[in-house]
Amino acid sequence: MKERIKQARLERGWSQEELARRMSVTQPSVAEWESGRKAPHMKNLMRLAKLLGVAIEWLSTGRGEMHPPPPLAVSEPASAYEWMLPEERRLLKTFARLQPRQREALLGFLESLA
């Protein structure tokens, strides 16, 4: 995780001091995270991911994409989906949270069932 925190910070062009200021922590705290001496608490890890614009799964584990996909834009009002079954709405919401490769894999799987 230490390398990923530093990588994301440098990608933003921020110093340790700047990240510390934005996180409302001390610069030595950021240095400890980046050296691996300490890991950020979950609350700080979630704030780090948001501030740095990276996926929390990538930041904490190294898995998945570094940058989360943008949310799907829905131009219709929510009432346009009222006719759907709860399972259909759940499927669409879950699909929207997937990475592009995961979406393609899921579509291939569903099409093989039909």
71 in any annotated domain: no
9 in any annotated domain: yes
* Count: domains in the chain: 2
Same domain, yes or no: 54 and 86:
no
pLDDT at 19: 94
72 in any annotated domain: no
Q: Write the single-letter amino acid at 18.
A: E
Q: What is the pTM of this model?
A: 0.59
**Structural domain boundaries, residue 51:** 2-61
67 in any annotated domain: no
Same domain, yes or no: 47 and 87:
no
* Digitized pLDDT (tens) for each residue of the chain, 114 residues in all: 999 999 999 999 999 999 999 999 999 999 999 999 999 999 999 999 988 989 999 999 999 889 877 666 555 555 556 667 888 888 888 888 888 888 888 889 988 987
3-state helix, strand, coil in the chain (%, to 5): 65, 0, 35
